[in-house]
Amino acid sequence: MEKPQRKKRILSGIQPTGIFTLGNYLGAIRNWKQMQEDYNCIFFIADMHAVTIRQDPASFKKQTLECFALLLACGIDPEKSIVFIQSHVPSHSQLTWLLNCNTQFGELSRMTQFKDKSSRHSDNINAGLFSYPVLMAADILIYSPDLVPVGNDQKQHIELTRDIVNRFNNAYGKTFTMPDAYIPKLTARVMSLSDPTKKMSKSADDNLCIDILDTPAQIIKKFRRAVTDSDSLVAYREGKDGINNLMSIYSSITGKSFEEIESEFDGRGYGDFKTAVGEAVAEELAPIRENYDRLMNDRSYLKAVYADGAKKAATISSRVLEKAYKRMGFIPPEK
């Protein structure tokens, strides 16, 4: 009898920066739900990454729990995946120091996100902000994943991680598995409803940002106010950024092609179309809001899930950490 093929391991994390937007959901988290069927998945709340920017402790604690509950509400199943909070697994920070000592200053100084965040937070350019790509490398390498889902803005971090693997393995012998970037074939890029040339975000000037916990009335109202153009033709064309964005969202939610959408709204105008997009999004997000409310009212369950996830993650990561320490010549502690 033929041995069943091992599922590849995939790993991804998300920072607890508040309630997910529609862009977070369609661009990443909805894909994670499907990945559970095809891969051995590890998902975590990247709370250690979040503190490179100073956080209010009470808000930070609240947002971390909310983010964890949201992952479960969106369909991340702790029976199928390992899901935990990053700071609950000390191996991440322990491996980071070893990798820091095998990463070049020049490599980190060239990271574009450090330059970007430094310019936006010039009053707090801390060492963690400079070296957090090494923590990201540790997040990855400590679990020996085959694949790591990334967007275009994260490709540089995967390249750095691969450079670190080569350097460490060449110096100390094969220790880490070389990870590959995983770029989903179909990922919706959700743009702002108030300025469709920019990504949807929670920035102060984006008052039409869709949070996945918005009520149906809030969602539909925001879509009805979405910026379009002076035309009335629902069609995907160059120069029609607002309509193109709405069509992409509607297509992602309903599975309809652009041609089918154009046919459906032929002669109906923008008002009907914007309402239809809002209603489709509201219907998609309603179960998430219900699941989230239920989970946040059962704190003992949430604690049990993240404790179990951390225990499973620690079991995997401790083996890799011990191997890295041994390769570098550290004396192992007595057990």
* Residue 61, number of CB atoms within 10 A of its CB: 13
Question: pLDDT for 188-203, tens place per residue?
Answer: 679 999 999 888 887 6
For residues 220-248, average pLDDT: 92
* 199: helix, strand or coil: strand
User: Active site residue: 202, 256, 312, 326, which one?
Assistant: 202
Beta bridge partners of residue 45, listed in sequence order:
14, 85
Report the C-alpha gap between 10 and 43 in whole angstroms.
9
Q: Are 151 and 188 in contact (CB under 8 A)?
A: no
pLDDT of residue 81: 97
Q: For the chain, what is the mean pLDDT?
A: 91
199 is catalytic: yes
Q: Residue holding tokens 């661009």?
A: 27
Report the C-alpha gap between 278 and 22 in whole angstroms.
12
What the block records as the tokens of 228 is 């379009």
- 18 burial (CB, 10 Å; 0-12 / 13-18 / 19+) is middle
For residues 32-39, average pLDDT: 90
Beta bridge partners of residue 135, listed in sequence order:
none
Q: Are 191 and 198 in contact (CB under 8 A)?
A: yes
Question: pLDDT for 109-126, tens place per residue?
Answer: 888 877 777 767 677 788
pLDDT of residue 174: 95
Q: Is 4's pLDDT higher than 80? A: no
Burial profile 38-55: b = 16 or more Cβ within 10 angstroms, e = fewer: ebbbbbbbbbbbbbbeeb
Give the closest residue to 42 by CA, choosing from 331, 241, 322, 320.
320
Q: How far is CA 155 from the centre of its chain?
A: 14
For residues 277-300, average pLDDT: 97
pLDDT of residue 152: 65
For residues 195-213, average pLDDT: 83
pLDDT of residue 176: 96
User: Active site residue: 8, 199, 312, 326, which one?
Assistant: 199
User: Active site residue: 117, 222, 240, 274, which one?
Assistant: 117
What the block records as the tokens of 173 is 């012998």
- Cα dihedral 113, 118, 124, 128 in deg (nearest 10): 30
Beta bridge partners of residue 149, listed in sequence order:
182
117 is catalytic: yes
Written as one string, the DSSP assignment of 40-69 is EEEEEE-HHHHTTS---HHHHHHHHHHHHH
Torsional sign, CA 12, 18, 19, 24: negative
Q: Are 278 and 222 in contact (CB under 8 A)?
A: yes
Give the closest residue to 140 by CA, choosing from 118, 159, 126, 116.
159
Q: Are 65 and 302 in contact (CB under 8 A)?
A: yes
202 is catalytic: yes
pLDDT of residue 1: 47
Domains and CATH numbers, the chain: 9-188+299-328 (3.40.50.620), 216-294 (1.10.240.10)
pLDDT of residue 331: 95
Torsional sign, CA 107, 108, 113, 117: negative
